[in-house]
A and B are shown apart, each in its own frame.
Chain A
């Protein structure tokens, strides 16, 4: 039965989406189905992680077609960790959606799309086949295209056009790179490709570098890395907050995950080229993101620019490419997804209370809602990297790895960006929570379900995620060990290849 743990994280959201379509007349059924399905997803994801932790890399050959020919689902520690994070974000979002999603959105299929998105994300984390990865990317993108324009406001359309155009461009690059790769090695199973690329002769290496750079650009766009990141801050602040939160937590991280997978498993021969480019990408992404945020005065836009900046740290972890740096990268992903989703959820609650995202219209929330202020402060300070919260350890490990690898520029930029992040978070704190309510500011709460409106369902996921942030900080040691084990698996591609293709003499 161990094989079913690998399939369930994909199967549960897909089935939940299908059932939501069948129950599309009853919004109540869809809401609770959403909570139950994401809860079940989280549960199976945790079981999968435990199984992978205890027994090593898990593989399922879908439909019983043997490995290099059929599609395999593979769960190594990194993949399993990502699925658990998907479960956490999905569950928090489903709870948050209970009261924060307007009826009109539910009517146009919010829940089926949400489940489809989660299925696409989980599929991308678990698949061991490059073309299948492309398909899951498309599943995810189709669902996200629909979610981002749900509601059909002008700003949403404007953001969605940039989002769709760049993502389609990236998909086209991805597909051409797949075509070239298939032409070169005649296989798309990741383990098989990695195995065959390591045996190529000298003159074909040039083509491998070209293909690896094509993949780098394609995934760089998906991960919102410099220079093609601007679709993200242009679009993430436009949809409903629950949608923003799940996008912020998960979608770009799929791009980061794939970068981690490809540049530790498949393209590892020419690290002088690829990982130097990754290093510069990481540095510039950090810097540009945080500078962009400094110029913004809208709650969610600031947070969106910070996603970009934080992506830089993760890519930096991959680019330095020492064991410690990879540990830092994996740790950073774990910390970041929880913190970032939570910050968006807080911004949604502020909007619910005050009816605005503009910093100039907000104020006085510390006086009226001190607990909310505290709940904002936990993820905000964690994002900036203050001890003892999760972000401190994430940044600490990466910066330490940078010092050990003598990448002084990267270290300097990482430290500087940490300070600027703190500046941004303090800016939000001052404007939204600390200063008095500005005169003449309109203060109209947004209530979508007047009969059953309770703030409990807003607070519950925020409190849960904030608790996790604190716990990752306090119990950093076990999480660090998990990240260390995941990084150790990433650094030994043989483990992955043998798990999928079987031991070879």
Chain B
């Protein structure tokens, strides 16, 4: 490995420029969808897909190595952490003697934002978000890796 990324797609200037700007925008949009999913269409699953597609786009435009670097965490860790979080979000209700996954709410009043509703539902949604990002990116990054290895050999 001499640091040279062998993808052919790198040559497209438009894709590279777009990938650079779209990643933060799409990740922000996914967070918006995640939080909005509380009362309106959205939620952890669709938000996770948007975030994962943002990273997939970044992988195609910037190459696998820099995508892994930007993501920081290994996708498998995201999957594990997300699944753990989603499952544990059901447990507080059980400790209170209510059925598993019963929603619990803790309304908070913050100085600038007004009332914020923290809940186990939010924790569940964030868990789903992480699982979706993790599983989609595990597949995408592994496929990209296989592709790169194939190109190296040929």
A417 within 8 A of partner (CB): no
6 shortest interchain CB distances as A-B pairs:
A21-B80, A18-B83, A22-B80, A7-B100, A64-B102, A63-B101
Q: CB distance A17 to B100 under 8 Å?
A: no
Q: 14 additional contacts, CB 8 Å, given A3-B94, A21-B79, A63-B103?
A: A7-B99, A11-B90, A15-B84, A15-B88, A18-B83, A18-B84, A19-B80, A19-B84, A22-B77, A60-B99, A61-B99, A62-B99, A63-B100, A64-B98
**Cβ proximity bits A58-87 to B, threshold 8 Å, 1 near / 0 not:** 001111100000000000000000000000
Measured in the bound complex, the distance between the Cα atoms of B81 and A60 in whole Å is 27
Across-interface contacts of B90 in A (CB, < 8 A): 7, 11
B16 within 8 A of partner (CB): no
B97 within 8 A of partner (CB): yes
Across-interface contacts of B68 in A (CB, < 8 A): none
Chain B residue nearest to A18 (CB atoms) is B83
A-B contact pairs, 16 of them (CB 8 A): A4-B100, A7-B99, A11-B100, A14-B83, A17-B83, A18-B80, A18-B83, A18-B84, A20-B80, A21-B76, A21-B83, A22-B77, A22-B84, A61-B99, A62-B101, A64-B93
Q: Report A40 CB to chain B, min CB distance, Å.
A: 14
A459 within 8 A of partner (CB): no
Identify which of residues 1-44 in chain A touch chain B, using a CB-to-CB cut-off of 8 Å.
Answer: 1, 3-4, 7, 11, 14-15, 17-24
Measured in the bound complex, the distance between the Cα atoms of B94 and A64 in whole Å is 11
Identify which of residues 71-85 in chain B touch chain A, using a CB-to-CB cut-off of 8 Å.
Answer: 76-77, 79-81, 83-84
Measured in the bound complex, the distance between the Cα atoms of B83 and A19 in whole Å is 9
Interface of A is mostly: helix
**A residues apposed to B, CB below 8 Å:** 1, 3-4, 7, 11, 14-15, 17-24, 60-64
Q: Select B99's contact among A11, A15, A19, A64, beta carbons within 8 Å.
A: A64
How many B residues have CB within 8 A of the partner chain?
19
Measured in the bound complex, the distance between the Cα atoms of B80 and A61 in whole Å is 27
Across-interface contacts of A64 in B (CB, < 8 A): 93, 98-99, 102-103
**Cβ proximity bits B45-86 to A, threshold 8 Å, 1 near / 0 not:** 000000000000000000000000000000011011101100
Q: Report B79 CB to chain A, min CB distance, Å.
A: 5
B87 within 8 A of partner (CB): yes
Chain A residue nearest to B121 (CB atoms) is A63
Q: CB distance A7 to B94 under 8 Å?
A: yes
Measured in the bound complex, the distance between the Cα atoms of B121 and A63 in whole Å is 10
Across-interface contacts of A20 in B (CB, < 8 A): 80
Q: CB distance B87 to A63 under 8 Å?
A: no
Q: CB distance A24 to B76 under 8 Å?
A: yes
Across-interface contacts of A1 in B (CB, < 8 A): 97
Across-interface contacts of A22 in B (CB, < 8 A): 77, 80-81, 84
Chain B residue nearest to A15 (CB atoms) is B87
**B residues apposed to A, CB below 8 Å:** 76-77, 79-81, 83-84, 87-88, 90, 93-94, 97-103
Q: Report A141 CB to chain B, min CB distance, Å.
A: 16
Q: CB distance A24 to B80 under 8 Å?
A: yes
Measured in the bound complex, the distance between the Cα atoms of B102 and A23 in whole Å is 29
Across-interface contacts of B88 in A (CB, < 8 A): 15
Q: Report B68 CB to chain A, min CB distance, Å.
A: 16
Measured in the bound complex, the distance between the Cα atoms of B99 and A63 in whole Å is 6
Chain A residue nearest to B98 (CB atoms) is A64
Chain A residue nearest to B74 (CB atoms) is A24
Across-interface contacts of A19 in B (CB, < 8 A): 80, 84
Across-interface contacts of B103 in A (CB, < 8 A): 63-64
Count chain B CB atoms within 10 A of each CB in A1, A22, A23, A24 and give the residue with the most: A22
Q: Using A11-B87, A15-B87, A18-B87 as known contacts, say yes or no to A3 and B80 having CB atoms under 8 A apart.
A: no
Measured in the bound complex, the distance between the Cα atoms of B100 and A61 in whole Å is 8
Measured in the bound complex, the distance between the Cα atoms of B87 and A23 in whole Å is 17
Count chain A CB atoms within 10 A of each CB in B79, B80, B81, B88 and give the residue with the most: B80
Q: Report B137 CB to chain A, min CB distance, Å.
A: 13
Measured in the bound complex, the distance between the Cα atoms of B84 and A18 in whole Å is 6
Measured in the bound complex, the distance between the Cα atoms of B93 and A197 in whole Å is 35
Q: Using A3-B94, A4-B94, A14-B87 as known contacts, say yes or no to A21 and B102 having CB atoms under 8 A apart.
A: no
Chain B residue nearest to A116 (CB atoms) is B83
Across-interface contacts of A60 in B (CB, < 8 A): 99-100
Q: Report A113 CB to chain B, min CB distance, Å.
A: 12
Measured in the bound complex, the distance between the Cα atoms of B93 and A7 in whole Å is 12
Across-interface contacts of A63 in B (CB, < 8 A): 99-103
Chain B residue nearest to A112 (CB atoms) is B80
Q: Report A27 CB to chain B, min CB distance, Å.
A: 14
Chain A residue nearest to B78 (CB atoms) is A21
Across-interface contacts of A17 in B (CB, < 8 A): 83
Across-interface contacts of B99 in A (CB, < 8 A): 3, 7, 60-64
Measured in the bound complex, the distance between the Cα atoms of B101 and A19 in whole Å is 19
Measured in the bound complex, the distance between the Cα atoms of B103 and A4 in whole Å is 16
Across-interface contacts of A23 in B (CB, < 8 A): 80
Measured in the bound complex, the distance between the Cα atoms of B92 and A4 in whole Å is 12
Across-interface contacts of B77 in A (CB, < 8 A): 21-22, 24
Measured in the bound complex, the distance between the Cα atoms of B98 and A63 in whole Å is 8
Across-interface contacts of B79 in A (CB, < 8 A): 18, 21
Chain B residue nearest to A60 (CB atoms) is B99
Measured in the bound complex, the distance between the Cα atoms of B83 and A22 in whole Å is 10
Measured in the bound complex, the distance between the Cα atoms of B94 and A23 in whole Å is 26
Across-interface contacts of B76 in A (CB, < 8 A): 21, 24
Chain B residue nearest to A70 (CB atoms) is B99
Q: Report A189 CB to chain B, min CB distance, Å.
A: 15
Measured in the bound complex, the distance between the Cα atoms of B74 and A21 in whole Å is 11
Measured in the bound complex, the distance between the Cα atoms of B81 and A18 in whole Å is 7
Measured in the bound complex, the distance between the Cα atoms of B90 and A267 in whole Å is 34
Q: Report B82 CB to chain A, min CB distance, Å.
A: 8
Across-interface contacts of B81 in A (CB, < 8 A): 18, 22
Chain B residue nearest to A61 (CB atoms) is B99
